[in-house]
């Protein structure tokens, strides 16, 4: 485990700091499965979920004769138990005694069907058999003869290997197999008894770049065929995929799913498991770390679908996945961006979550209506401190609200002034097919279209969570505005690793790396839009900025934090890519904020690199909740304090809630006022005692104010600062 935790540039750390980071790493990993997840050398894993328990059926590399099959079980994905030999070729078959590998297990008819590859003694070729048991662990009774041979495959493939069985929604079962020598994939239909073949002819449905080990999943009406490519015995081995609208093709090539990186090699022969009812998928695969296939081990990582339905490439991790016991609520998809602007579409219709007539009035009704692209159908979805979400209508600035904060089924849903109470808080769960369920906080009431109507103008209400399509919504990101002055978490694409300052240091020159999301300020950045349109990223609670060392324009130059000095080394262009991810480009260069070798390991260094469009340069920017009140900025000297902006107003333009951040340059009494265009006082916001270098945030609900331009005036010990506030409705 320790060798799987590389540290960025250890020569610059004291032994004490290395020990601290090591302990933190172990603490983070203790909450996950870790990788590898199974004891010993195992390969070709298939993971299945039966009756609240996960089972992995691998090839046992430690058994040189290949005659015995083990199984492993877990109730939470993190603690695995070897259940011993569940099938033994020498004792439980008559037609095969060795070279057993790559099992696949399916539950049907109250039975468990165990498909496997083995050497056919009669024909001296690989063949596929099937055995039947009453439990996931057997005992399994073999069918007595091979189910599939080269002859039963019309000799499309001589390597009758790597079976995978898929049962479609209509009940038809298919078996996919074949590869390696000749690299052809065959499909045949199974009868309902699951141990015999239909009269349909075998078909060659080989996709692009196929070698072996097919695996099929269905999501949202689309079939995803994943398979191994390359040579199984070296680091060319990898997983790719193709899609179709039919379980038998034709296939449209999709690209890479997982491949070797700088630390781990030969990932392949995998399976994909969906947690029932959720848009939550896991990929289990084998890999090795010493460049020899003889030490293959089983690993698990999350598999994520992009908004367009494509598969996001998997970064192999040393930490694996979090516990996932049976009955767990569906999590929020990692694709959801806090602070993103979304369209919510009712399942199977073109009807959007809409404020009636585009009203800006508190209490205006919320309905579904034909997608017309207006701001009345756009909602800013933002994570709150309690883990729930707030949805603010872009047109009005009002929050999605349950009337009277009621928990009663059928209560109307409306928009209302953002007041922070539970009537405006929603739990978001990613359900099957890429849809969401929105649950009203503290209740079992879901956001629901009355009578599951598809009609424009149908009312939106809350109703008891019953799992039907009336309570399913597709969330499509339409924009990713950056809130100047907002606090953000930056997460490397395809991992849980965040942009992090080593040991949460406030020292200038501290290196920046990635680290497991732990929620502390080392992973929080204040993003501020500057006058030239570029952004400054300031490490939370310090005045240290994200900076390229020496303002270098060289690929590979170190990224660090450094005292805010206003130069281009600390300026970044943030480019939204339209899929929920952004790239950060160093000002004056085409170099991107990049994770070294696209690794997912905690502690991997972050540098700048040539824009090459890969995932190492992709970041999800999540707007994080902040407590109202004081935030101390650790200014170093008077010159830095005087360089700080004493008054910041955001967002501007604003539609409703406005934030005023005051950072006094000296200690003393301050007053904060809002004036109209004629200089008349329209609101006295505060009289307070300001402390030098201590930022205080004041809030204003501007939703009932007239649209227009206002002047904000700050008076601190006789020194007056002004800025503009623009309100639009």
- How deeply is 199 buried, as exposed, middle or buried, from its count of CB atoms within 10 A (0-12, 13-18, 19+)? exposed
Structure tokens at 5: 């935790």
Q: Which of 141, 218, 210 is nearest to 177 (CA)?
A: 210
User: Which tens digit of pLDDT belongs to each residue from 297-341?
Assistant: 999 999 999 989 999 999 999 999 999 998 899 999 989 999 999
Region 8-19: mean pLDDT is 30
Which CATH number characterizes residue 509's domain? 2.80.10.50
| Co-location of 191 and 276 in the same domain | yes
Report DSSP letters for 118-152, one per residue: EEETTTTEEEEEEEEESSTT---EE-SS-SB-SGG
Last residue of a domain, one of 592, 623, 654: 623
Cβ atoms of 233 and 290 closer than 8 Å: no
Q: Which residue has the higher pLDDT, 247 or 327?
A: 247
In a domain, 421, yes or no: yes
User: Which tens digit of pLDDT belongs to each residue from 436-464?
Assistant: 999 999 999 999 999 999 999 999 999 99
Cβ atoms of 87 and 133 closer than 8 Å: no
Confidence of residue 636 (pLDDT cuts 50, 70, 90): very low
44 is catalytic: yes
Which of 572-576, 695-699, 721-725 reaches the highest mean pLDDT? 572-576
Confidence of residue 293 (pLDDT cuts 50, 70, 90): confident
Quote the CA–CA distance of 58 and 42 in Å, as a whole number.
Answer: 6
Region 653-672: mean pLDDT is 83
Last residue of a domain, one of 603, 623, 643: 623
| Co-location of 664 and 590 in the same domain | no
517 is catalytic: no
| DSSP 8-state symbol, 639 | H
Strand partners, 135: none
| Co-location of 380 and 232 in the same domain | no
Residues contacting residue 213 through CB under 8 Å, at least 6 positions apart: 44, 102, 162, 164, 179, 227, 228, 268, 269, 270
In a domain, 25, yes or no: no
Which CATH number characterizes residue 288's domain? 2.115.10.20
Structure tokens at 51: 């009756």
The catalytic residue among 44, 235, 401, 564 is: 44
Beta strand 435-440 pairing with 426-431 = antiparallel
Q: Is the dihedral of CA 364, 369, 370, 373 positive or negative?
A: positive
Q: Which of 659, 519, 525, 663 is nearest to 582 (CA)?
A: 525
Structure tokens at 167: 């049962």
Q: Which domain holds residue 53?
A: 32-303
Average of per-residue pLDDT values in the chain: 89
| Co-location of 162 and 240 in the same domain | yes
pLDDT score, position 627: 53
Quote the CA–CA distance of 283 and 267 in Å, as a whole number.
Answer: 11
Cβ atoms of 454 and 433 closer than 8 Å: no
| DSSP 8-state symbol, 52 | T
| Co-location of 143 and 276 in the same domain | yes
pTM of the model: 0.82
Region 149-172: mean pLDDT is 96
| Co-location of 683 and 649 in the same domain | yes
User: Does 18 have pLDDT greater than 80?
Assistant: no
pLDDT score, position 671: 86
Structure tokens at 453: 């109507």
| Co-location of 601 and 635 in the same domain | no
In a domain, 1, yes or no: no
User: Does 228 have pLDDT greater than 70?
Assistant: yes
User: Which tens digit of pLDDT belongs to each residue from 391-431?
Assistant: 999 999 999 999 999 999 999 999 999 988 999 999 999 99
Confidence of residue 628 (pLDDT cuts 50, 70, 90): very low
In a domain, 326, yes or no: no
In a domain, 373, yes or no: yes
Structure tokens at 658: 């406005």
Last residue of a domain, one of 479, 498, 531: 479
Q: Which of 514, 506, 499 is nearest to 603 (CA)?
A: 514
| DSSP 8-state symbol, 155 | T
User: Which tens digit of pLDDT belongs to each residue from 703-728?
Assistant: 778 877 788 888 887 678 888 888 87
pLDDT score, position 634: 37
| Co-location of 105 and 234 in the same domain | yes
In a domain, 271, yes or no: yes
pLDDT score, position 63: 52
Cβ atoms of 330 and 281 closer than 8 Å: no
Which CATH number characterizes residue 636's domain? 2.60.40.1930
Cβ atoms of 514 and 602 closer than 8 Å: yes
The rounded percent of the chain whose pLDDT value lies above 70 is 92
| Co-location of 157 and 47 in the same domain | yes
Region 652-664: mean pLDDT is 81
Quote the CA–CA distance of 597 and 609 in Å, as a whole number.
Answer: 10
Q: Give the DSSP H/E element, type plus range, for residue 186.
A: strand 186-190
| Co-location of 292 and 346 in the same domain | no
Q: Which of 354, 334, 335, 333 is nearest to 343 (CA)?
A: 354
| Co-location of 294 and 346 in the same domain | no
Domain total of the chain: 4
- A 10 A CB-CB count for 123 gives 14
In a domain, 110, yes or no: yes
| Co-location of 173 and 68 in the same domain | yes
Residues contacting residue 554 through CB under 8 Å, at least 6 positions apart: none
In a domain, 714, yes or no: yes
The catalytic residue among 46, 212, 301, 579 is: 212
């Amino acid at each position: 485990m320790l060798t799987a935790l590389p540290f960025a540039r250890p020569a610059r750390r004291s032994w004490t700091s290395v020990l601290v980071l090591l302990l933190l790493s172990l603490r983070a990993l203790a909450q996950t499965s870790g990788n590898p997840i199974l004891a010993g050398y195992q390969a070709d894993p298939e993971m299945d979920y039966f009756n609240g328990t996960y089972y992995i059926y691998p090839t046992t590399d430690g058994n040189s004769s290949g005659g015995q099959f083990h199984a492993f079980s877990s109730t939470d994905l993190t603690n695995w138990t070897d259940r011993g030999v569940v099938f033994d070729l020498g004792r439980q078959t008559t037609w095969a005694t060795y070279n057993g590998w790559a099992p696949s297990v399916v539950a049907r008819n109250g039975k468990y069907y165990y498909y496997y590859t083995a050497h056919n003694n009669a024909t001296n070729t690989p063949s596929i058999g099937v055995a039947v048991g009453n439990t996931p662990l057997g005992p399994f009774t073999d069918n007595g003869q091979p189910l599939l041979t080269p002859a039963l495959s019309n000799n499309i493939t001589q390597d009758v290997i790597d079976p995978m069985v898929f049962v479609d929604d209509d009940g038809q079962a298919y078996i996919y197999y074949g590869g390696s020598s000749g690299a052809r994939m065959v499909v045949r239909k199974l009868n309902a008894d699951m141990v015999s073949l239909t009269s349909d002819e075998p078909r060659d449905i080989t996709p692009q770049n196929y070698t072996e080990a097919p695996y099929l999943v269905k999501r949202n009406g689309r079939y995803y065929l994943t398979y191994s490519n390359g040579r199984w015995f070296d680091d060319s081995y990898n997983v790719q995929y193709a899609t179709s609208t039919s379980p038998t093709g034709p296939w449209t090539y999709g690209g890479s799913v997982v491949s070797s990186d700088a630390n781990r090699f030969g990932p392949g022969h995998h399976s994909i498991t969906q947690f029932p009812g959720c848009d939550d998928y896991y990929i289990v695969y084998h890999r090795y770390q010493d460049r020899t296939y003889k030490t293959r081990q089983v690993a698990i990582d999350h598999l994520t679908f992009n908004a367009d339905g494509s598969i996001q490439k998997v970064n192999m991790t040393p930490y694996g996945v979090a516990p996932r016991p049976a009955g767990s609520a569906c999590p929020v998809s990692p694709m959801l961006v806090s602070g993103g602007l979304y369209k919510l579409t009712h399942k199977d219709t073109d009807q959007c979550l809409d404020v009636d007539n585009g009203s800006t009035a508190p209490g205006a009704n919320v309905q579904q209506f034909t997608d017309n692209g207006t701001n009345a159908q756009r909602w800013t979805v933002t994570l709150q401190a309690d883990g729930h979400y707030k949805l603010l209508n872009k047109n009005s600035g009002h929050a999605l609200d349950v009337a009277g904060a009621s928990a009663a089924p059928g209560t109307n849903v409306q928009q209302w002034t953002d007041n922070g109470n539970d009537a405006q808080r929603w739990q978001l769960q990613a359900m099957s097919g890429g849809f969401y369920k929105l649950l009203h906080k503290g209740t079992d009431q879901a956001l629901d279209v009355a009578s599951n109507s598809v009609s424009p103008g149908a009312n939106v209400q809350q109703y008891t969570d019953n799992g039907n399509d009336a309570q399913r919504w597709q969330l499509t990101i339409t924009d990713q505005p950056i809130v100047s002055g907002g606090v953000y978490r930056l997460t490397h694409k395809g991992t849980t690793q965040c942009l992090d300052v080593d040991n949460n240091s406030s020292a200038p020159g501290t290196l920046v790396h990635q680290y497991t999301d732990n929620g502390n300020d080392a992973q929080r950045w204040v993003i501020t839009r500057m006058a030239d349109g570029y952004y400054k990223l300031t490490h939370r609670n310090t005045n240290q900025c994200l900076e390229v060392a020496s303002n270098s324009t060289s690929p590979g130059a170190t990224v660090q934090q450094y005292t805010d000095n206003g130069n281009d080394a600390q300026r970044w262009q943030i480019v939204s890519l339209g899929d929920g991810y952004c790239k950060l480009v160093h000002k004056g260069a085409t170099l991107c904020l990049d994770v070294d070798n696209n690794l997912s390991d905690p502690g991997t260094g972050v540098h700048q690199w040539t824009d090459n469009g890969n995932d190492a340069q992709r970041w999800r920017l999540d707007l994080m909740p902040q407590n109202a009140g004081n935030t101390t900025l650790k200014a170093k000297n008077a010159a830095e304090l005087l360089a700080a902006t004493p008054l910041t107003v955001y967002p501007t333009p604003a539609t409703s809630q406005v934030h005023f951040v005051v950072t006094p340059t000296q200690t003393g009494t301050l007053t904060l006022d809002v004036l109209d265009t004629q200089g008349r006082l329209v609101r006295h916001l505060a009289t307070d005692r300001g402390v030098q270098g201590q930022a205080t945030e004041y809030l204003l609900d501007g939703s009932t104010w007239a649209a227009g331009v206002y002047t904000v005036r700050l008076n601190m010990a006789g020194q007056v600062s002004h800025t503009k506030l623009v309100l639009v409705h």
